[in-house]
Amino acid sequence: RDHCMRDEQRRRLSIVIVALGLVVAACSGDPTTGYFSDVRGVNQTYITEVADLVRVGPSSSADDLRDFFAERTDALAEAVDGLGQIAPPDEYVAAHNRFMDGLAQFADLSEAIAAESQNLQTNDDVRSLAVHPVFGMGPSRELEAAFVDACLVLQGMADETGATVDLACEDLS
């Protein structure tokens, strides 16, 4: 009879230990899921900040361009800073850095365009900037596509882990 009671106590203790282990695991969170959630948070903040910006192009006014690039540059700088504060798990460091570097290059170009837009006075100036080989729409689209592609690589990694998080990569452009 003592033997049966000890087995029952061991079984209960084992159940309590397993339950405590599950509670501790749930409270500590999965670092992979936490990482992807943090990246999504940065992306969502950027998307929200640029959502209300008036889109610009070759037919935009010089004032619209100045406003757009100043505001977008600020939002991009915050996104780069936000990504820089996230410590990815080791297996995601290279992809994270590629995404962050691509976003930083895009932010640098946006900042350069913002500076160039200060010199715009006429509609011809705006059109010239739009087709400029360094500050124009072509180089801007290429850099934007590169960081979105880098984000999509991270999304693929998240999907492979079974993380149910949408990094909203397509909404970044």
Q: What are the structure tokens assigned to 149, written together? A: 């592609």
What's residue 163's pLDDT?
Answer: 85
Structure tokens that stand for 30 in this block: 């999965």
Q: With b meaning 16 or more CB within 10 Å and e meaning fewer, what string describes 44-66?
A: eebeebbeeeeebeeebebebbb
- Angle between helix 62-84 and 93-117 (nearest 10): 160
Name, in order, each residue with C-beta under 8 angstroms of 85's C-beta and a sequence gap of 6 or more: none
The string of DSSP letters for 56-74 reads --TTS-HHHHHHHHHHHHH
Instruction: Specify the pLDDT at position 19.
Output: 34
**Residue with token string 């282990």:** 21
Structure token digits, residue 142: 């290429």
- pLDDT score for 29: 54
Chain centre distance of CA 97 = 11
pLDDT of residue 26: 39
Q: Are the C-beta atoms of residues 166 and 43 closer than 8 Å to each other?
A: no
Count of residues in the chain: 173
Print pLDDT tens along the chain (173 aa): 554 545 454 444 333 333 333 333 333 457 788 999 999 999 999 999 999 887 888 888 999 999 999 999 999 999 999 999 999 999 999 999 999 999 999 999 999 999 999 999 988 999 899 899 998 899 999 999 999 999 999 999 999 998 889 999 999 98
Helix (H, G, I), strand (E, B) or coil at 72: helix
Is 171:47 a contact under the CB 8 Å cutoff? Answer: yes
